Amino acid sequence: MLAPHQKEIIEALKSESTWRLVFLSIITLGIYTAFYIKRQSRALNEYLTTPGHRIKEGFIQFILVIAFVSAAIDVVDLIYGEDDPTVAAFSAGGDMLFGLSVIFWAFMMCTRLNYLLGAAKRTPLWSSKLWAFLFGALYINYKVNTLWKRDV
């Protein structure tokens, strides 16, 4: 059972099923993921009162820009990729930059969630950076859903 302050945080972060996030992220070439990150970061920042703990708005905006640029380059790559290796290289680079940004964000979310929830290692509340590294925003969504279901 979650404490009232923990429940409030989890309810603020509860947004959708992980499968829905996967599907929408795929069909929007990652743009939906960027907006999910924006929403979750702002929701979590409401509970972070200590200076320096908040996820920076500039970083969130960077992820949004990279998502749009990467998606645009991916579309161009789908059209001209086989004919132009430069486009394919830019596409791969944009995708890598976006992916690394999402992983970095997921690490930030894990750290802040663990702090806010008072989670100890190897407890159900603990958010794992290994899973965040492997699954990024999908893991954060899954973790929030798991904690929410645990309390229902």
Single pTM value for the model: 0.93
Give pLDDT tens digits for 114-143: 999 999 999 999 999 999 999 999 999 999
Taking CB atoms within 8 Å and a gap of at least 24, the contacts of 109-117 are 109/40, 109/41, 109/44, 109/55, 109/140, 110/140, 112/44, 112/48, 112/53, 112/55, 113/9, 113/44, 113/140, 113/143, 115/53, 116/6, 116/9, 116/44, 116/47, 116/48, 117/6, 117/9, 117/147
Would you state the pLDDT for residue 114?
96
Domain ranges for the chain? 4-151
Would you state the pLDDT for residue 58?
98
